[in-house]
Structures are given as C-alpha cells and as structure tokens.
Amino acid sequence: MRVAQKQDIACPNKECRVYNKIGLLNVIRKGTQCNGTLRYQCTDCKRTFARTIGTPFFHRHLKKKEIKNICKHLAEKNGYRSIARITGHHLDTIRAIADVVGNHCKNYSEYFVKELSLTPVEIDEMWGFVKKKKNIAKARASG
C-alpha cells in the first residue's frame, strides 16, 4: 500500500469527514487516466477522483495541452470551424470545450461578484494585476 504524502488536493466527497481540507495525509496517488490526468484516492472514504475535478479539463479525452491550445484560439476570436481545421479536432469537440470553459469563467465571475462583493471593474483590475505579475514572474524565471 502506498504511503500518504502531503498533497495539494483535497477530497471532493461532501459526505467525507475531511471534505475539502488540503494538507492532511488522507489523499494518495492512484494511477493516471489515458489522457495523462493523475488520479487520487481518499484514504478516509476510499473514493477515487481525478485531479481535474471541478475544472474544464474534467471528463475530457483530450490532453490538457490540447485543451489549452483550443482555449488560446478561442481567446483570439477564431471561429469554431477554423479552430477545428487548425487543431484537427471535431467541430463538436471544439463547441463542447467552448461551452465548458465559458460556463467555468461565468461561474468564476459570479463567485467574485456574489461571494466577494466585487464590482466588474474591480474584477477587471484584479485580472490585470494577475497578468502583470505573471509577466514579471516569467521575466525573472527566464533571466
């Protein structure tokens, strides 16, 4: 049996005793899926789960890198059909990913507005700050 190590992921089972508590020694690695996603198991409730649970990558056959590539094309305002031709994936796959990513972003924005009581301008400023810091971090890492 594997020894539990400190993971940066928590048990997603709402009925579990240690639900959503990160840093406890209750999560162990439990193999990978065919698309490379890591799987984990909670030693408390014995439930197995994918690392991508609760993200747009969850329940996708494509690799994370391919989904990110499709998202980049969507951000550049390419059409679904052109993205399908560029990436070589089916049109329905592109539409499904766009739908999931769009809903995820919408939920994120709603969380910021409702739970944190931020205005849309404040959210925009926050993302601008994050983007700026990301560029600085990249510049420091490269040179």
- Positions that interact with Zn ion (CB under 5 A): 11, 13, 16, 42, 44-45
Among 102, 100, 124, 103, CA closest to 113: 124
Give the C-alpha distances (Å, rounded to integers) separating 26 from 35, 54, 96, 112.
Answer: 25, 19, 34, 30
The CB-of-4 to Zn ion minimum distance in angstroms stands at 12
Give the C-alpha distances (Å, rounded to integers) separating 91 from 80, 97, 115.
Answer: 7, 10, 36
In the complex with Zn ion, the residue whose CB is nearer, 43 or 78, is 43
The CB-of-76 to Zn ion minimum distance in angstroms stands at 40
In the complex with Zn ion, the residue whose CB is nearer, 21 or 85, is 21
In the complex with Zn ion, the residue whose CB is nearer, 16 or 62, is 16
Query: What's the rounded Cα separation, in Å, for the pair 47 and 29?
Result: 12
In the complex with Zn ion, the residue whose CB is nearer, 44 or 66, is 44
The CB-of-25 to Zn ion minimum distance in angstroms stands at 12
Query: What's the rounded Cα separation, in Å, for the pair 98 and 60?
Result: 12
The CB-of-30 to Zn ion minimum distance in angstroms stands at 12
